[in-house]
Amino acid sequence: MEPDAQLVQGCLRGEGPAWEELVRRHSRRVFNLCYRFTGNSTEAEDLSQEVFLRIYRTLPSYRPAFGAFPTWLTSVTRNLLVDHYRRTRRDRLTDSIEDAMPKLENKQSAGRTPDKLALASELSAQLQQGLSRLSPELREAVILRDLQGLDYSEIQTVLEVPEGTVKSRINRGRIELARILEEMGLRPQN
Amino acid sequence: MTDWNCALTEERLSDYLDGILSPAEAAEFSAHASSCDDCGKLIAQVGGLVHRMRALDALEAPPQLIPKILESTLGPRRAQSAGWQRWFARIPQFWQPRFAMGVVTVAATLLIVLYTSGMSPAKLKKADLSPTNVFRTANRQVHLTYARGAKFVNDLRVVYEIQTRLQPDAEPSPSNTPAPAPQQNSQPPSVNPREKSQASPHPGHSQSRNGTMLASLLNTHWAENFGSIVIGTNTRSPR
């Protein structure tokens, strides 16, 4: 396996296969981040596409000093997600979060989403509902730490906030999410 | 030491779960957790959640996602298929009739050039391909072809001339021909061997009409018109 840095160099030389490999290697991760943040498969797909389009265009400006390629990729994704969140906030305010919940459930039970099998896991589905009730700041912190497996310093780079803030957001996010899931009747221990 | 409380437990919960508390802090944390039911329950809840979230498999991306990304970045052609399939997909573009026709024409031209320049593919040696040798072979072949062509045309003209002379109707007046004949008898001896062989059976005083015609033909027109050409050809062909 070629390291990401070599693939990036290949892309900068205009090698299509290098870019293809980079996309294959990271698209699932980007999609998961988008899906966990938005809770909508179609939106997550469109956003993932947008992320890679932006990466493709801004790749010449990438420097290893910005951090490892996956961290940079996560930063780009996160910034797009925040933009998307702000863009669609007005739409979300019109229909309340209670209205959104059954929609998500219907979508899953209809079996139309491609990730039907993955969402068959009850925890995964309930977790998604719980995440959507967290504030975006806490949500992104928990997703990056516990679902994407980033360490504190990487999250600090992505979110561009001090380490103390990162730690506090992750901690508050976890506790809040646990309480939400308890309200929903999910027992994390079982 | 004893002032560890529920608020502090909640605040340091993630540090505890991530294992970044100092040993002293961890001891106090555990001591409080075991004595406080609420905190014990919270630790179990959050700890269980974190554990299960980390054990969760990443979701599969929709299968159309990667092709869509590649299409929007690299363009539609590259996104279709990977590896050898993509390579084979290009073949039909080459085998359009126009392209195939061009290939055949070029191949035929090369073959013709090859054969006329006297190079046989079976006997082709590396030395034959050097520019000097190619030029020499081509030059020799051109001269040979020219000489053969000239000889062929001359032969045809001889036959044609004989034919026209042998047909009396087409001939204007055979009686006129003997007059200039004596002048032409002094032609150079270096005539075509064929001419001699044709001339010997009829020395020029034959009584038959045909004989007279042939004699006059040989002595006058033939020698006059073609002798020089034949001689010219003969001098030219040895190069």
Partner-chain contact B56 A32, CB within 8 Å? no
Mean pLDDT (10-residue bins), chain B, 239 residues: 80 91 91 90 92 88 91 69 56 70 90 73 69 84 91 94 80 48 46 46 46 52 49 45
From chain B, the residues in CB contact with A41 under 8 A are 62
Torsion-angle region of B86 (φ positive above 0: left; ψ -120 to 50: alpha; else: beta): alpha
pLDDT digit string (tens) for A130-168? 999 999 999 999 999 999 999 999 999 999 999 999 999
What's A1-94's CATH class?
mainly alpha
Which residues neighbour A50 within 8 Å (Cβ) at sequence distance 6 or greater?
A80
pLDDT in tens, chain A (190 residues): 578 888 988 888 888 888 999 999 999 999 999 999 999 899 999 999 999 999 999 998 888 877 889 999 999 999 999 999 988 887 766 655 445 454 444 444 444 454 454 444 677 888 999 999 999 999 999 999 999 999 999 999 999 999 999 999 999 999 999 999 998 887 554 4
- CA–CA–CA angle A77, A80, A84 (5° rounding): 135
Q: What radius of gyration, in Å, describes the C-alpha atoms of chain A?
A: 17
* Distance separating alpha carbons of residues B206 and B212, to the nearest angstrom: 6
Nearest-Cα distance to chain B for A66, in Å, is: 23
- Tokens 């957790």 belong to B33
Q: What is the pLDDT of residue B121?
A: 61
From chain B, the residues in CB contact with A177 under 8 A are 49
Q: In chain B, where are the structural domains located? A: 6-55, 97-124, 136-236
| B211 in Cβ contact with B166 (< 8 Å) | no
Coarse DSSP helix, strand, coil percentages of chain A, rounded to the nearest 5 percent: 80, 0, 20
Query: Sign of torsion, CA B144 B148 B151 B157?
Result: negative
Q: What is the pLDDT of residue A4?
A: 86
Q: What is the pLDDT of residue B216?
A: 53
Residue B155: closest CA among B87, B229, B74: B229
* Cβ pairs bridging A and B (under 8 Å): 111
Tell me the angle at which helices A122-132 and A97-110 cross, rounded to the nearest 10 degrees. 160
| A51 in Cβ contact with A22 (< 8 Å) | no
Query: Which chain A residue has its CA at the smallest distance from B62's CA?
Result: A114
Kindly list the distances between the CA atom of residue B75 and the CA atoms of A53, A58, A152, B68, in Å, as whole numbers in the listed order.
12, 17, 38, 10
Partner-chain contact A189 B78, CB within 8 Å? no
Query: Which chain B residue has its CA at the smallest distance from A50's CA?
Result: B69
Partner-chain contact B69 A167, CB within 8 Å? no
Query: Which chain B residue has its CA at the smallest distance from A114's CA?
Result: B62
SS3 (DSSP) at A126 = helix
Partner-chain contact B68 A56, CB within 8 Å? no
Partner-chain contact A118 B60, CB within 8 Å? yes
- Tokens 């780009």 belong to A76
Q: In chain A, where are the structural domains located? A: 1-94
Q: What is the pLDDT of residue A65?
A: 77
| B192 in Cβ contact with B153 (< 8 Å) | no
Kindly list the distances between the CA atom of residue B228 and the CA atoms of A113, B23, B150, in Å, as whole numbers in the listed order.
99, 125, 13
| B43 in Cβ contact with B13 (< 8 Å) | yes
Q: What is the pLDDT of residue A190?
A: 43
Q: What is the pLDDT of residue B115?
A: 75
Nearest-Cα distance to chain B for A59, in Å, is: 12
Q: What is the pLDDT of residue B94?
A: 63
Q: Which two tokens stand for residue A105?
A: 């459930």
Kindly list the distances between the CA atom of residue B191 and the CA atoms of A55, B3, B196, B227, in Å, as whole numbers in the listed order.
92, 140, 7, 7
Residue B204: closest CA among B188, B230, B185: B185
Q: Among A31, A171, A178, select the one facing B49 at the smallest CB separation.
A: A178
Global confidence as pTM: 0.57
| A137 in Cβ contact with A169 (< 8 Å) | yes
Query: Which chain A residue has its CA at the smallest distance from B80's CA?
Result: A20
* Distance separating alpha carbons of residues B162 and B36, to the nearest angstrom: 137
